[in-house]
């Protein structure tokens, strides 16, 4: 890590599992020198029942102990008023609201009501679905309760088509949030965006390049045997190395024009990356179609359908100010590649 201002670093296990695991993770994280706040899930909102639903209240004293041993503040996810009350009772320093809770205004309001008169720091994750208003609305509910020490966590958005990320980052939504509420710090959660440890560095670095204010990352003493989110957790030492290798750039010394240009270039880069991801998803489906055609003895090119598709996109492109010629070249090129990929499947090369 070099240059620039140091981001806020939050790390800890997805879930508190045992006292030993919490204490060991906390002390080993502390030793990296790269943690400001410890995190641990106590109540886990799982998508499917039967997955580990959290150790519950009995884990709260373990966090108190981790805090005493390391001197670091501790953060816990809350999803309802009773969680808030227990966290306050056990001296938890920071609360966060999870993505499955932010989607529900009733739940966010219940938490906001339970926090009236208690100005504890609260971090609000983005909702599971890519809905900026729902995220902003959740933040407004917390603000309306008198809370002033607030932050947002960008953890990506659920999407059924593409499986590069567990949750698609859709960086633009986090940037739009920052524009709408510039005083709220924005923390990135590479763990839940990636769902897999190989991609973590790239996402964390991108958050730093986009001038996010911090990172929240999952770390476990034996990641592969974690009771939740095993594939995305890092050992405390690997987490420390990842943070160490991040480049923190300082935009503050550059002229205004350059900063604006940088921002626009970053936006273009993000959009290009989305285009690449979308093209990769599209070709994957093309190969599946190739497989289907092979099994059903069909030809690759069905000319009538192709003509209709091309005309549809030329009309559609015109609405967005794109010339017919340009659209025709783009679509033809995608179609060519698609045919090639299908062909490979049909002749058994892919």
CA distance 135 to 103: 8
234 touches Mn ion by CB under 5 A: no
41 touches ligand PEP by CB under 6 A: yes
Q: How many residues bind ligand PEP (CB under 6 A)?
A: 9
> Is the Cβ of residue 14 or residue 174 nearer to Mn ion in the bound state?
14
3-state DSSP assignment of residue 41:
strand
Q: Provide the Cα torsion 117, 121, 122, 125; round to 10°.
A: 160
Q: Which stretch binds Mn ion (CB under 5 A): 9-17, 79-87, 115-123, 297-305?
A: 9-17
DSSP 284: H
Residue 99's binding partner among ligand PEP, Mn ion, none (Cβ under 5 to 8 angstroms by kind) is ligand PEP
154 touches ligand PEP by CB under 6 A: no
Least separation in angstroms between residue 101's CB and ligand PEP is 7
The binding track of 191-230 with respect to ligand PEP, each residue x by CB under 6 A or -, is -x--------------------------------------
Least separation in angstroms between residue 218's CB and Mn ion is 6
> Is the Cβ of residue 92 or residue 217 nearer to Mn ion in the bound state?
217
Structural contact between residues 90 and 63, judged by C-beta atoms closer than 8 angstroms: yes
> Is the Cβ of residue 154 or residue 178 nearer to ligand PEP in the bound state?
154
Cβ-in-10-Å burial (0-12, 13-18, 19+) of 236 comes to buried
Residues in contact with 341: Cβ distance below 8 Å, sequence separation at least 6, in sequence order: 283, 286, 287, 290, 350
Binding to ligand PEP (CB under 6 A): which residues in 87-146?
A: 98-100, 125
Q: Which two tokens stand for residue 23?
A: 């204490």
């Amino acid at each position: 890590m070099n240059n620039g201002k140091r981001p806020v670093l939050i790390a800890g296990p997805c879930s508190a599992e045992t006292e030993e695991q919490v204490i060991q993770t906390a002390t080993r994280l502390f030793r990296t020198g790269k943690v400001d706040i410890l995190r641990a899930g106590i109540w886990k909102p799982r998508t499917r029942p039967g997955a580990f639903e959290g150790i519950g209240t009995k884990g709260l004293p373990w966090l108190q102990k981790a805090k005493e041993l390391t001197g670091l503040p501790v953060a816990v996810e809350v999803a309802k008023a009773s969680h808030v009350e227990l966290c306050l009772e056990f001296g938890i320093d920071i609360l966060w609201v999870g993505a499955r809770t932010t989607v529900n205004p009733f739940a966010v309001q219940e938490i906001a009501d339970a926090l009236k008169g208690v100005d504890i720091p609260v971090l609000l994750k983005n909702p599971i679905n890519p809905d900026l208003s729902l995220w902003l609305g959740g933040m407004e509910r917390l603000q309306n309760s008198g809370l002033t020490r607030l932050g947002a966590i960008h953890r990506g958005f659920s999407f059924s088509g593409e499986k590069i990320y567990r949750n698609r980052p859709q960086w633009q939504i986090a940037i739009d949030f920052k524009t709408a509420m510039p005083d709220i710090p924005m923390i990135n959660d590479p763990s839940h965006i990636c769902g897999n440890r190989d991609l973590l560095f790239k996402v964390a670095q991108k958050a730093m390049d986009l001038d996010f204010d911090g990172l929240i990352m999952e770390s476990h003493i034996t990641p592969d045997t974690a009771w939740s989110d095993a594939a995305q957790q890092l050992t405390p030492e690997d987490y420390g190395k990842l943070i160490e290798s991040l480049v923190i750039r300082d935009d503050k010394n550059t002229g205004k024009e350059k900063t604006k240009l940088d921002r626009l270039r970053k936006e273009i880069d993000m959009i290009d990356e989305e285009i690449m991801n979308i093209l990769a998803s599209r070709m994957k489906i093309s190969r599946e179609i190739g497989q289907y055609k092979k099994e059903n003895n069909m030809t690759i090119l069905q000319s009538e359908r192709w003509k209709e598709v091309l005309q549809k996109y030329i009309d559609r492109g015109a609405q967005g100010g794109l010339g017919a010629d340009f659209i025709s070249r783009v679509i033809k090129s995608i179609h060519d590649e698609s045919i090639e990929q299908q062909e490979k499947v049909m002749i058994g090369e892919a």
